[in-house]
Amino acid sequence: MKRTVEPGDPVKIGQWQARNNVFCAPLAGYTDFAFRKQCYRFGAGLCFTEMVSAKGLLYNNAATKILLHRYPGERDTAAQLFGSDPQILREACESENLREYEMIDLNMGCPVPKVFKNGEGSALLGDFALAERIIAACKKSGKRVSVKFRIGLKRGDAMASEFAKLCEGAGADMITVHGRTRDMYYAGEPDFAQIAAAKSAVSIPVIANGGIFTRADAQAMLERTGADGVMLARAAMYDPHVFSEVLGLSGEWDVARTVREQIADMLPVYGEKFTLVQMRKMAAFYLRGRRGSAQYRGRLFSCGTLEELDALLDEIFAAEEKGAGGEKCARND
């Protein structure tokens, strides 16, 4: 009987081996280079950029290109692309913008109406022929290619194994299966059976995604699906230290240090205005679940400068040291 994979086991993608099998999902608006740096610091085996428009890259859109910014020394990260034109996607893969990225992830799971209506993201689950052409075209770029997809468009769909076989046949080196249908968005329990069916259908690595917030969640997902690894999404957004927890690593999480390091990394690239807006949002996520966090939330979003944000962090953690809170509540979302 095959041994169940454990969080932290290595996983080989093409000819390359990830440092471990606990990955950070591509999250639009969140997985910028500064956030990925923290996820890697806490042990993530592989991170992905935010969702990047293939058309935007070819049009040299500045806002699109900045999504691909990397921190010094960042190597293994995969770039996630979305689009519906095989030729444009291949040209994007071969463009100078993606020269430093050796792995491309194709988004075939985004449920957002704006993306879906353009025939992109999860809409490709309704057009197997086009999805196959896209994967094959991108594979011709010479890069490693992975595909992230959902188990179907609506509840009751049972297409994960069929789509997984399509991906492998078209040349994909790995697939990530989000165990929910498009109409479920991010709610409801993932369908373990569908992820297991996808795993049984292919020989390439299968990464399971959906509803993983703790080490126990990760172990249960691996046991119930036979997947080769797990991908964390909202859990990482709330707490990048979750990678250490899932991997069974020791050490406490210094939230203030994380926020300040992200600010220091982002400021020279994005400027103060964007950095402040982004880090107010991230700090609110990081403090989520701590006693007393609700009273600080409004004050976080009213900070008008980075200095005010820094001073508020000092106040929050000084209060914790005096025993005014700091315990984490259970996260069931």
CATH at 300: 1.10.1200
- Total domains in the fold of the chain: 2
Span 31-47, pLDDT tens digits: 999 999 999 999 999 99
Q: Is there a single domain that holds both residue 241 and residue 265?
A: no
330 assigned to some structural domain: no
User: Domain residues for 75?
Assistant: 11-247
Residue 322 has pLDDT above 80, yes or no: no
Span 100-150, pLDDT tens digits: 999 999 999 999 999 999 999 999 999 999 999 999 999 999 999 999 999
Q: Is there a single domain that holds both residue 225 and residue 312?
A: no
3 assigned to some structural domain: no
Q: Is there a single domain that holds both residue 172 and residue 266?
A: no
Closest residue by Cα to residue 176 from 230, 101, 233: 230
DSSP assigned state of 56: H
Residue 163 has pLDDT above 50, yes or no: yes
Contact (CB, 8 A) for 153 and 181: yes
Q: Is there a single domain that holds both residue 171 and residue 120?
A: yes
28 assigned to some structural domain: yes
CATH number at residue 91: 3.20.20.70
In angstroms, the CA 185 to CA 195 distance is: 16
222 assigned to some structural domain: yes
Span 214-252, pLDDT tens digits: 999 999 999 999 999 999 999 999 999 999 999 999 888
Q: Which long-range contacts (CB under 8 A, 24 or more apart) does 316-320 make?
A: 316/256, 316/287, 316/292, 317/255, 317/256, 319/292, 320/290
Residue after which a domain boundary falls, among 218, 247, 276: 247
Residue 33 buriedness (CB in 10 A; 0-12 / 13-18 / 19+): buried
Write out the catalytic residue numbers. Answer: 110
Q: Is there a single domain that holds both residue 173 and residue 118?
A: yes
Which residue matches tokens 């809409």?
A: 123
Residue after which a domain boundary falls, among 199, 222, 247: 247
- The whole-model pTM stands at 0.94
Residue after which a domain boundary falls, among 219, 247, 275: 247
DSSP 178-234: ESS-GGGTT-S---HHHHHHHHHH-SS-EEEESS--SHHHHHHHHHHH--SEEEESH
Span 261-291, pLDDT tens digits: 999 999 999 999 999 999 999 999 999 877 6
Q: Is there a single domain that holds both residue 242 and residue 269?
A: no
**Tokens standing for residue 302:** 């009213």
